[in-house]
Structure 1
Amino acid sequence: MLAFLYRRKLSFITLFVFLLPAPLFAQNLFLEKIDVCSTASFCMDCGDPKATCDQFTLDYICDQINRKYILKDAFGSISFQVLVEASGFSCVLSHTDVTNGPLTAELIRYLNGNIWRPAKENGKPVYASVNVIFRFANGKISSQMQRMDLAELKPPGDPAIYNKTTTYANPSLKSYEFTTWTKYNSPLPDNISKSCIVDKSDVLWYTTIKGLTRFDGQNFNPVNEFNSPFNAETDVADINVDKDNNKWVYVDDKMYKYSDAGWQIFDFKKFVPPGAIRILNNRHGDLLFATKAGLVVLRKDKVVVLNKKTIPLLPSSNVYYVYEDSRKRLWIGTSKGCIMIDHNVPTTFNTSNTPLKDTYISNATEDEAGNLYFSLTACNATPGDNDKEGIAILKTNGSWLHYNDKNSGMPSNHVNDMLYDKYEHVLWIGTEQSGIVRFNLKDGWENYHNNNSAMPGYTINKLAQDSKGVIYAATANGLLRIKKK
């Protein structure tokens, strides 16, 4: 939301800015279209050199807006797609302000009146569209050109489906609405994300290698130098939320805590030298940090480190994942295998006749009946599809099941994340190469990817769900939302 005051009239105006997906190859990139431009033929941010205007000109526009409007409480951004004709004249094609407020109208007049240099191909001027983004923060407006990497606009290619025996009818696919945001149709700083989390206020915190963003379902709000210890392009490795709705963010071997008191740095290195690999939590909301030197447990400001010194049967101190089930058993996945600790009694699995032999758990979840679901990664895995991987299920009667692409509807074996959907009572599985798997816990396997649905690609790194059942996926090609129709 952008809130600002017009200096002359001093009237309060509220502008809601939110972005909906638009086809990346459509002529109008953003949702709000202006049908006054001649758009018979143009390319998006093409040419060498590309179409541009001087930063001095954009700074002049911002200076005029800052003089005219009181932007003290404004935050957010508005993006514009500008068509630059071969003659150098410009015309705004589309933008992201769904209210079409007076500020946006004034920015359009400025952009249409700019001095532009057209794009050229083979030395000849051509029609090309470029993007300009105006950001509101710290009581001011700023602007810059937003260049497009045309390679990122290309389809990500075909998913890898190693399962050659299953025909995916996908009967539930029509029940969902798929929405995708990228850095080209939204304020997302980058398309590639490894992690995301939905906090207790249903706000999505979305990490990328070029910045952290919050999304409340309508508005994207960047986490940057104006409201955090990070800048707009900070590489955020991981994020999680504790039982008190504090956010924990791992950046550059440092752990940060965000609470009502603001941002604090957590002195992590005094417990383990290498820093964290993943930020996790148990059923009580205690923080668990998986590191190369052991498992660090933070409980009521007390820290406990579990490694081979404290637990000799631990296969390795290089911990990748940990999960506490409803029976208070602690499952730990390490680089050399798994261990389960039940009331201080450890059990290892490398010599067992279970799917956990010579594998480690990389994710876990549990259904209402107490059945446990583990995604597996093979120890000393080699590139390619590995049948030791897939999904392991520990049923409440103590029996094990192992699903891979040879004996089930799994399209491939390498799993990045899982989520048990308590609203629909199904298991959602995010894969490395095959998109999303929807498993109804019996025999119903469905597989959604960019070739059969509105998904942006096939690499799903993280899944999160809000209190209304809406699912978000951090992918290699943008933010995906899956919403029941």
Structure 2
Amino acid sequence: MKRSLILLSFAFLSSKIYSQNIFPVKLNNCKTERFCLDCGDVKAGYDEKEFQIINSRLNSSFTLKGVSGGIKLQVLVDSKGKACVLSHTDQSNNIITQKIIDELNNFKSWKPAITNGNVEEKTSITVTFLIKDNTIKGQVERVDMNAFKKSFDEPKKPEIFNKKYNYKNENLNNYKITVWNSKNSNLPNNMTDHIAIDRNELIWLTVDEGLVKFDGNTFINSEQNITDKGKFFGYYELESDNNNIKWVHGKDNIYSFNDKEWTKYDPKVIGIDGAYEIINNAKTGEVFFCSDEGLTIFKDGKWSNINKDKVNALPSNRVSFAKRDSKNRIWIGTFSGSIMIDENGKAIVLKIRTQY
């Protein structure tokens, strides 16, 4: 009997697209937790006058006669106006490229992106440097969001980094592979970020600014209906728990849906207004919410929280992932390190041991 494997078009959340490295040469000197791609009502950029100093310094550092070409760099700008080059297009690692990277990393006059009056934590922008007529000049190149989203209608083959290993799946012939997209079904678009499967084997997924469920034949709009959407309403996280409750991080709120009605949770009551991840612990019936406020736990209708005020060993309140294991231990990963809380409530800091 052949089993069905559902393949959906995975991409990024569109109106505020979350992404990773967009150019082939990837650098490892940036802290790349969640960031958005050229987002904001006010886009990230730089002080024009100060940036001209970079152009002048580059022109005085090199003899550019007879040289032509260009390079694109992905620059990560944070809320404090600091930046880091995340990736670029120059696979030759030319000395000019290295100088440009140093200049951008050390530049102090970046301006963060702003959305609805709030500064974006981290934003990726593209800076292009062109060498023409013996002169080098850099400037921001804005992302064409419509073209970017359209590119996912025809996804490229995955990039394989390990060229020596022969990847094979001996069970592949046991599956019938079906692809649904916006062209061959009523899927609203191909921009999906999260998928959850509930106890009825319905598939729930976020699509652009919407939420849909899939019954095997039809994609059904299932967005929350108790909060006005306004200019933009995004769905960022999604999970289904033991009681078949669907949990969603919508814009500035946590929501739940019991297949009949939606519930919105007051951030002042539960202590959070969003989550990096929502994780169901099937064995204990707990739902974990990982956020900037620590680890928030929902169980049997009650909310509790693990944060630095309660567990001093927690490296940071910015929890990116957590899970309870079969021995009743909680493993917590933060943006500043990880800990394990054992079955007796003792917190153990996890350290990477390096051998020389």
TM-score (norm: length of structure 1)? 0.39
Supply the AA of the counterpart residue of 1:163: N
Partner of 1:463: none
Does structure 2 retain, via aligned residues, the 8 Å contact 1:273–1:293? yes
| 1:172-202: CA deviation from partner (whole Å, max 9, x where unpaired) | 3222221111122222222121211111111
Does structure 2 retain, via aligned residues, the 8 Å contact 1:191–1:208? yes
CA change 1:310–1:167 in 2 (3 A) is: same
Partner of 1:348: 349
Supply the AA of the counterpart residue of 2:206: T
Supply the AA of the counterpart residue of 1:256: Y
Supply the AA of the counterpart residue of 2:350: F
Does structure 1 retain, via aligned residues, the 8 Å contact 2:152–2:191? no
Aligned residue for 2:151, secondary structure, equals helix
Range with greater deviation from structure 2 (156-165 or 205-214): 156-165
Aligned residue for 2:267, secondary structure, equals coil
Gaps of 5+ in 1: 1-19, 22-146, 355-485
Does structure 1 retain, via aligned residues, the 8 Å contact 2:194–2:206? yes
Which structure shows the bigger proportion of residues in helix conformation?
A: 2
| 1:279-321: CA deviation from partner (whole Å, max 9, x where unpaired) | 1122322221100120111122222111111111111111000
In structure 2, what is the Cα distance between the partners aligned to 1:257 and 1:171?
40
Q: Aligned ranges for residues 177-196 of structure 1 at < 5 Å?
A: 177-196=176-195
In structure 1, what is the Cα distance between the partners aligned to 2:149 and 2:347?
53
CA change 1:219–1:228 in 2 (3 A) is: farther
Aligned residue for 1:194, secondary structure, equals strand
Q: Aligned ranges for residues 149-168 of structure 1 at < 5 Å?
A: 151-152=150-151, 155-168=154-167
Sequence identity (%): 31
CA change 1:309–1:154 in 2 (3 A) is: closer
1:176 aligns with 2:182: no
- How much does 1:271 deviate? 3.9
In structure 1, what is the Cα distance between the partners aligned to 2:147 and 2:187?
13
1:312 aligns with 2:292: no
Partner of 1:333: 333
Q: Aligned ranges for residues 92-111 of structure 1 at < 5 Å?
A: none
| 1:28-83: CA deviation from partner (whole Å, max 9, x where unpaired) | xxxxxxxxxxxxxxxxxxxxxxxxxxxxxxxxxxxxxxxxxxxxxxxxxxxxxxxx
CA change 1:348–1:169 in 2 (3 A) is: same
In structure 2, what is the Cα distance between the partners aligned to 1:286 and 1:152?
39
Q: Aligned Cα RMSD in Å?
A: 3.1
Supply the AA of the counterpart residue of 2:301: D
In structure 1, what is the Cα distance between the partners aligned to 2:176 and 2:200?
22
Supply the AA of the counterpart residue of 1:291: S
Partner of 2:206: 207
| 1:382-441: CA deviation from partner (whole Å, max 9, x where unpaired) | xxxxxxxxxxxxxxxxxxxxxxxxxxxxxxxxxxxxxxxxxxxxxxxxxxxxxxxxxxxx
In structure 2, what is the Cα distance between the partners aligned to 1:245 and 1:273?
22
Partner of 2:256: 257
Partner of 1:139: none
- How much does 1:220 deviate? 1.8
Does structure 2 retain, via aligned residues, the 8 Å contact 1:323–1:331? yes
Supply the AA of the counterpart residue of 1:199: D
Supply the AA of the counterpart residue of 1:243: N
Q: Aligned ranges for residues 32-47 of structure 1 at < 5 Å?
A: none
CA change 1:181–1:332 in 2 (3 A) is: same
1:198 aligns with 2:197: yes
Q: Aligned ranges for residues 75-474 of structure 1 at < 5 Å?
A: 151-152=150-151, 155-224=154-223, 229=227, 234-259=233-258, 262-272=261-271, 275-282=274-281, 283-342=283-342, 343-350=344-351, 352=353
CA change 1:335–1:184 in 2 (3 A) is: same
- How much does 1:344 deviate? 0.5
In structure 2, what is the Cα distance between the partners aligned to 1:175 and 1:261?
37
In structure 1, what is the Cα distance between the partners aligned to 2:261 and 2:177?
34
In structure 2, what is the Cα distance between the partners aligned to 1:154 and 1:293?
37
In structure 1, what is the Cα distance between the partners aligned to 2:246 and 2:275?
15
- Between Structure 1 and Structure 2, whose CA radius of gyration is higher? 1
CA change 1:260–1:166 in 2 (3 A) is: closer
| 1:266-285: CA deviation from partner (whole Å, max 9, x where unpaired) | 11344435532221122322
Partner of 1:443: none
Supply the AA of the counterpart residue of 2:159: A
Aligned residue for 1:195, secondary structure, equals strand
CA change 1:338–1:305 in 2 (3 A) is: same
Does structure 1 retain, via aligned residues, the 8 Å contact 2:237–2:275? no
Does structure 1 retain, via aligned residues, the 8 Å contact 2:149–2:191? no
Does structure 1 retain, via aligned residues, the 8 Å contact 2:249–2:274? no
TM-score (norm: length of structure 2)? 0.52
CA change 1:186–1:152 in 2 (3 A) is: farther
Aligned length: 209
In structure 2, what is the Cα distance between the partners aligned to 1:289 and 1:153?
30
CA change 1:231–1:200 in 2 (3 A) is: farther
Does structure 2 retain, via aligned residues, the 8 Å contact 1:190–1:210? no
In structure 1, what is the Cα distance between the partners aligned to 2:153 and 2:206?
23
In structure 1, what is the Cα distance between the partners aligned to 2:246 and 2:318?
24
